[in-house]
Chains A and B, each alone.
Chain A
Amino acid sequence: MLAFTLRRAIQAIGVMIAVGIISFSMFRFAGDPVNQIVSIDTSAAERANIRASLGLDDPVLVQFTRYLVNAAQFKFGVSYQFRLPVADLLKERMPATLELATCATILAMIFGILMGVYCALRRDTLLAKLFQAVSLIGISLPTFLIGILLIYLFAVTLGWLPSFGRGDVVPIGWWTTGLLTLSGLKALILPSITLGLFQMTLIMRLVRAEMLEVLRTDYIRFARARGLTTRAIHFGHALKNTLVPVITVAGLQFGSVIAFAIITETVFQWPGMGLLFVQAVQNVDIPIMAAYLIMVSLIFVTINLVVDILYTVVDPRLRATVGHTT
């Protein structure tokens, strides 16, 4: 067990180093940050000064070592655009992203499971077919388009919900939450739907397929033979067994919800980390880009690691074959 965990941890570190190398090499193609800092009529001499003070003139290897050493200690330096420590900026933006991602995931779980169960149990009804059609839209329409459509319908035409921002937020320590004010909750609705739609359709389809599979198994047949009520069979036995893979997938998807929040945040001007990242890319703000990429990959790697370890805890059969897993 310990060996297994160690192995996984070492693999995770390997992945993090690879991400570091890839992201560093990408920055070299993002353009010249000095151009984003100064105006066009700044003299070449002044530009050269700024380059030197940012350490952009050092050899690539020196820059890379400095970057890796700092990243390993979570020191990401100061943003070129805001002149503030990147760690502070991320800390300030993190609550917005996490709240949005959590709401979107919960929304996706609730509606995805309900719709999935319905589609499995009442396969041939009109409503089930409608759900299937909606799920196709959710899978195939790009996020930004859904976001803009929602804005035009609910914010501009109907005027029910705000089109951008987080509304009023309440600070709790360093955390800020929009869940405690009416405007904050209203502002959360459209972005959560936009961000969660893809997950919702994914979960719905998964639940539907799993449920149909489970309903065909022997123990369900035995349960029926024993004379249990349909309700007990469907929700007590079938759904419970369906949910194991669903929860795994939803957990893994949480990482990508955070990562894909970039687009939703841009469309809704949601002041989270994704928006910060997009602005950083446009302005070649390398410290922010580096920190964000490292952080997102850390989230992914951690979730994967935890899921792997949990699997072995939950399912002892996996432990026996530990030596052969890759």
Chain B
Amino acid sequence: MPVRQALFAAASVSIVAFAMTAFSMTPASSQTLRYANQGELKSLDPYTVKETTTIAHHAHVYEGLVTRDKDLKIAPALAESWETPEPTRWRFHLRKNVKFHNGDPFTADDVIFSADRVRAKGSNFLTNVPADAKFVKIDDYTVDVKLDSPNPILISQWDGWFIMDKKWCEDNNAVAPTPASATTPSYASLHENGTGPFTIESHQPGVKTVFKVYPGWWNKPEHNLKEIVFTSIGSAATRVAALLSGEVDVIEPVPTQDIQRVNSGGNATVMAGPEIRTIFLGMDQSRDELLYSNIKGKNPFKDIRVREAFYKAIDVDLIKNRVMRGLSTPSALMIAPQLFALSKDFTRPKADPDAAKKLMADAGYPDGFEVTMDCPNDRYVNDADICQAVVGMLARIGVKVNLLAQPKAQYFGKVLKPGGYQTSFYLLGWTPASMDSHNVLYDILGCHDPKEPTRGEANLGGYCNKDMDALTDKVLVELDNAKRDQMIKQAFELVIKDYGYIPVHQQALAWGVSKKVKLTQRADNQVLLYWATKQE
């Protein structure tokens, strides 16, 4: 076919021309890595904004007592080692000869100061360090943490709790964390003074931030960079264009529809991998009458057969293939397999619309019913498209779903606890901040309880199983890992038996990376460029 050949020739010529011009246009001052993200670096104060992109940026300049390695395992950072002499007492041995970027030495006083600051009013990281943990200085390089009750996951969120310099904060009037509601800008939100591998040379909020390597870092760098230039590019098409034209080296995220083009462009590839966020569907099981349905006087979701029918009607493989273009991992559990050792014991049953239809008939809804589904349209990968697919799948069993897809600002305002859980059927995504199942069992699957308001706060559908709650409480204090995993498994089995929630999948990460750059993709979607190397 001559036409096709001509097209092919034209395409290859343009690719070559494009590669050459891209090369000539960037006289790459090598070892400067240019990185663009859709999000912004909003504040340099590490206790102000709890959000993946921001925390990842802070991780280049600040360090915690512990960190997480490439496989999300906890690793030592500013604490060299630690032990638990008693179940309620932890001892941390701090690293010596560590200096903050301004030259101040790092000591136990900084740890105690940071522990107070992160739990002070205005901090958005209150939950990272338990309120009952008392920090006691033993000597300059030893700190004890005393607890009221045993806590096997005490340090699980400490990789996001960065240590600040006590003296620097005091000198610059930044002892209090910069709260979300600050009325005056704080010194700490525009300047940094951490111990990490990079310093921030200039920071224009929402525009551009330049990181420079910190020569006095205590550890041996894995990267070969001198400088990182971070730009926020909100428009997806522009972000992809900047990568293809060679103006930036790394972008996050690449929209699913552009992956093919980035890969075929010649000078960049898409790194895709499973993320640990689980996307799932929830149903209101607590109200006696649904807020948004044509069934009055009763709540169909209280009938386990209806929930089972919904579960069986939804074909997660089809969502994977059609909506996600292969870039998702269908999930049987409410937690990602990387975060729970016994996940492999669970498999998700195949979709079965016929069985679902029969269940609906048994439950007394042979012709289905109407229900409104709440869905965000700018929060997760292809979120509104997934909901649209669910609408179609449920139509096959006679359920008429009215889809209400809204921007996250409106969506979360409506469905979360402060909005009064105003939803009957919804899609949500969740990453356990502690990387541990207890967070999922407690926050999403726990019963609502006025006496314990934090339990089940993200359980928008009000699913409740007291046996599972009892197991959750045991999981919290169990120190033996094998026993603990068995308990978690039992708890998840109870939820599955109840059809309490409908897990959908873990979405895939998609980073666009220039062929000149090698980096490590961590499953929590933190872009950590201190593991990146760039060819000259």
Given contacts A78-B182, A83-B182, A282-B409, contact A44 B417 (CB under 8 A): yes
A32, A77, A284: residue with the most chain B Cβ atoms closer than 10 Å: A32
Contact between chains at B418 and A47 (CB < 8 Å):
yes
Question: Mask for B232-258, Cβ within 8 A of A = 1, else 0?
Answer: 111101100110111100000000000
Q: CA A81 – CA B419 in complex, angstroms?
A: 21
In this assembly, does A82 line the interface, its C-beta being within 8 Å of a C-beta of chain B?
Answer: yes
Q: CA A34 – CA B182 in complex, angstroms?
A: 13
From residue B94, how far is it (CB to closest CB) to chain A in Å? 28
> Can you show 25 pairs from A to B with CB atoms below 8 A apart?
A31-B409, A32-B409, A35-B416, A37-B49, A41-B127, A41-B439, A41-B457, A43-B454, A50-B179, A80-B181, A81-B206, A83-B48, A156-B241, A158-B18, A159-B18, A162-B245, A163-B238, A163-B245, A165-B231, A266-B234, A269-B238, A282-B234, A282-B378, A282-B409, A283-B409
Contact between chains at B127 and A43 (CB < 8 Å):
yes
From residue A265, how far is it (CB to closest CB) to chain B in Å? 10
Residues in B with CB closer than 8 Å to A81 are 40, 42, 206
Contact between chains at B418 and A44 (CB < 8 Å):
yes
Q: CA A171 – CA B262 in complex, angstroms?
A: 36
In this assembly, does A148 line the interface, its C-beta being within 8 Å of a C-beta of chain B?
Answer: yes
CB proximity to A under 8 Å, residues B394-448: 407-410, 412-413, 416-419, 430, 433, 439, 443
Contact between chains at A279 and B418 (CB < 8 Å):
no
In this assembly, does A39 line the interface, its C-beta being within 8 Å of a C-beta of chain B?
Answer: yes
In this assembly, does B339 line the interface, its C-beta being within 8 Å of a C-beta of chain A?
Answer: no
Interface size class of A (residues with CB under 8 A): 35 or more
Contact between chains at B231 and A269 (CB < 8 Å):
yes
Stretch in A84-92, A129-137, A202-210, A240-248 touching the partner: A84-92
A-B contact count (CB 8 A): 179
B43, B207, B247, B439: residue with the most chain A Cβ atoms closer than 10 Å: B207
In this assembly, does B260 line the interface, its C-beta being within 8 Å of a C-beta of chain A?
Answer: no
User: Of all chain A residues, which has the CB nearest B15?
Assistant: A157
Q: CA A54 – CA B182 in complex, angstroms?
A: 9
Stretch in B19-27, B289-297, B327-335 touching the partner: B19-27
Interface residues in chain A, defined as those with a beta carbon under 8 Å from any beta carbon in chain B: 30-51, 53-54, 77-78, 80-85, 88-89, 92, 148, 151-152, 155-160, 162-165, 266-269, 271, 275-276, 278-279, 282-284
Q: CA A41 – CA B237 in complex, angstroms?
A: 31
Residues in B with CB closer than 8 Å to A48 are 418
Contact between chains at B409 and A155 (CB < 8 Å):
no
Given contacts A35-B409, A82-B206, contact A159 B22 (CB under 8 A): yes
From residue B184, how far is it (CB to closest CB) to chain A in Å? 7
A31's partner among B205, B246, B413 (CB-CB below 8 A) is: B413
Given contacts A83-B48, A89-B205, contact A32 B412 (CB under 8 A): yes
Contact between chains at B181 and A53 (CB < 8 Å):
yes
Residues in B with CB closer than 8 Å to A275 are 206, 234
